[in-house]
Structure 1
Amino acid sequence: MPESYRSTLQKNGFVVIPSILSDTEVSSLRAIATTATNLARTGSWPHFRTVPKQFPPWPSTPPPAAEGGIWGVQHLLHPDMPGRAEFAGLYFSEKVLSVAEELMGVEGDRTPDESLVMELFNLLVAPEVKDFELRWHRDDIPWDVSADEEERLLAAKSPGGQQSHAQYNLALCEDRSLIVIPGSHRRVRTETERNAEPYEAYLPGQLVVELKPGDAVFYDSNILHRGVYRAKEEGGEESRLTLHGSIGLKGDGKSKVRATAVLQHGVGAWVQRGDAAFGIGERAERMRANLVAMGTGEDVGYSLKG
């Protein structure tokens, strides 16, 4: 029998799920994702990730294309985002939420006491003119901690491999950008990994996650990983459009740590707006209410810097 998604994630730190989206869905989402990217590139959408900065906060003005421009578009669920309804339809869809529930060990939740939390939904894109790389990292654990502290933090954040959130990349174009070291989410770094250069091109055991349009990879955010972003051709079509989302689990005892990881991106500034309701069913609103309960994000700080 094939392994479950959850057992594969716990063993390897990631699991690839093919064809979550149909070709028709990919085509439709690629069109609105391209629109969102164009708005961000021209400064008409103020929420983006800028080259060469890896972690928030990012500047409010996109760098010139010659300097790389942007590598991500933030807040696809924002009330002012064109295409928001279609983005929300995917984020809150059964095909995505059911995988998140399995990975976090949650049975189908249809009660008023919703256990899932709306978190982040962003877009990863190709920089312009020149390539861009992310350094090796874990999302919630600083790189300079000692081996003992690293072991403690890994155990605290994913006890027994149990995650408090489900994080994923869903490709709308072919994507070979994510590089992971399988199994590294369950152990401290080796001496080779600890002493490696930040942008080391190869570490023993690394694997390039290959996604076709419509495929998704769900991964433990504290697996050792980095990203390699190949520049798109000047004036050409977008060569990378990858939806980057996360879904949380309420009441897991790590709410403060998770609040920092989520609210550092600024989602708390708009999720309580009067026009922030999605109008697509009660579950989306219960999940949004769970995010609102996290707070506005003031003074939460940042998980990582740089």
Structure 2
Amino acid sequence: MDTHLSGLQRDGFVVIPALLSAAETSSLRNAATTATALTRSGQWPYFRTVPKQFPPWPRDVPPASEGGIWGVQHLLHPDMSGRAEFAKFYFSEKVLKVVEELLGLAGQDEEEEDGEGELLVMELLNLLVAPEQKDFELRWHRDDIPATVSPEEEMRLLKAKSPNGRQSHAQYNLALCPDTSLIVVPGSHRRIRTETERDADPYEPNMPGQLTVHLEPGDAVFYDSNILHRGVYRHKPVETGEETRLTLHGSVGLKEKESRVRATAVLQHSVGLWIDRDDASLSHISERAEKMRRNLIAMGRGEDVGYSLEG
């Protein structure tokens, strides 16, 4: 029987249809629409801007004529409108059950030897949106391996970041609108790039073997962060003004004694600067959510971790 884990290990991604109900999807779409409107109008300070692909991000929202934003950061921030709705989703058993399977925790006793009783770490929950007035594309990349490394170093890093074929985190896109933005090369998460892939244009529209991931509202795709992939963002139509892309982009980590690499990937987004605020507690969501938050606090504030990739 093909499981979510076997699909992820074989292909580097696995699509889960209808992870959320229509009602759950609608409620989250309303919250995401509000968050996007606040960010576009300059009332939310955490965002991803066109034409940058990686952090650090500018402090000001570019004008719509230049594309504006393509992402809203920190949906679990205590000041975020709709935080309760986003947190309810992020810490839901629907999501965490899949995460546990992909991280090899399914069926394990949650009690650790140190008595803290939680193996998962809260990481990130962001929102990917359609830019305004102009399309935007991400170049081909792996999330945590620079394109400039040699084939030998590329293989070493692939093995180091996925020991025994598993990563120390699970990341996903959950569509709230129809979404065809993610393009992947199946199987590329376990091998170095071919000569063709290494020499290709960074925005090559027809990479050999590429596949466009099709998601309907409520569908999710979990994918290996080191699969060769890129994103294509079509701008939202001016006529209607409706948001045409609202995709929740999240990651959940596995607690480790040595997690410097993962700390960089997570803390580079500045989550460490607010996660320990008194009003950031998640006890009202669940005891598990609060333990996951505390596991993130233990990773540090991230003031000196640098960036996984830049540009």
TM-score by length of 1: 0.98
Which residue number in structure 2 is paired with residue 28 of structure 1? 27
**Matches for 1:283-298 after TM superposition, within 5 Å:** 283-298=288-303
Supply the distance in 1 between the matched residues of 2:304 and 2:86 (Cα, whole angstroms). 29
Supply the distance in 1 between the matched residues of 2:270 and 2:163 (Cα, whole angstroms). 28
Which residue number in structure 2 is paired with residue 114 of structure 1? 118
Supply the distance in 2 between the matched residues of 1:11 and 1:252 (Cα, whole angstroms). 28
**Matches for 1:238-249 after TM superposition, within 5 Å:** 238-249=243-254
Which residue number in structure 2 is paired with residue 274 of structure 1? 278
Supply the distance in 1 between the matched residues of 2:28 and 2:117 (Cα, whole angstroms). 31
Contact 2:110 2:119 in 1 (8 A): no
Contact 1:141 1:150 in 2 (8 A): yes
Paired AA for residue 169 in structure 2 = H
**Matches for 1:134-173 after TM superposition, within 5 Å:** 134-173=138-177
Contact 1:119 1:291 in 2 (8 A): yes
Paired AA for residue 302 in structure 1 = Y
Paired AA for residue 77 in structure 1 = L
Query: Per-residue CA shift, 1:113-161, capped at 9, x if unaligned?
Result: 2110000000000000000000000000000000000000000000221
Contact 1:114 1:287 in 2 (8 A): yes
1:302 to 282, 304, 307: 307
User: SS in structure 2 opposite 1:168?
Assistant: strand
Paired AA for residue 285 in structure 1 = E
Contact 2:141 2:230 in 1 (8 A): yes
Large movers: runs of 4+ above 2 Å: 107-113
RMSD: 0.9
Supply the distance in 2 between the matched residues of 1:71 and 1:252 (Cα, whole angstroms). 34
**Matches for 1:130-279 after TM superposition, within 5 Å:** 130-234=134-238, 235-251=240-256, 253=258, 255-278=259-282, 279=284
Supply the distance in 2 between the matched residues of 1:16 and 1:264 (Cα, whole angstroms). 27
Supply the distance in 1 between the matched residues of 2:54 and 2:76 (Cα, whole angstroms). 20
Paired AA for residue 85 in structure 1 = A
1:110, CA displacement in angstroms? Answer: 4.0
Supply the distance in 2 between the matched residues of 1:145 and 1:260 (Cα, whole angstroms). 18
Contact 1:54 1:134 in 2 (8 A): yes
**Matches for 1:74-85 after TM superposition, within 5 Å:** 74-85=73-84
1:252, CA displacement in angstroms? Answer: 6.2
Contact 2:172 2:221 in 1 (8 A): yes
Contact 1:173 1:242 in 2 (8 A): yes
Supply the distance in 1 between the matched residues of 2:106 and 2:36 (Cα, whole angstroms). 36
Which residue number in structure 2 is paired with residue 69 of structure 1? 68
Which residue number in structure 2 is paired with residue 103 of structure 1? 102
1:107, CA displacement in angstroms? Answer: 2.9
Supply the distance in 2 between the matched residues of 1:281 and 1:37 (Cα, whole angstroms). 27
User: SS in structure 2 opposite 1:63?
Assistant: coil
Query: Per-residue CA shift, 1:199-228, capped at 9, x if unaligned?
Result: 011111000000000000000000000000
Contact 1:164 1:252 in 2 (8 A): no
Query: Per-residue CA shift, 1:258-280, capped at 9, x if unaligned?
Result: 00000000000000000001211
Contact 1:110 1:283 in 2 (8 A): no
Query: Per-residue CA shift, 1:55-101, capped at 9, x if unaligned?
Result: 00101110000000000000000000011001000000000000000
Aligned length: 304
1:251, CA displacement in angstroms? Answer: 1.3
Mark the runs of 5 or more structure 2 residues left unpaired by the alignment. none
Supply the distance in 1 between the matched residues of 2:212 and 2:141 (Cα, whole angstroms). 15
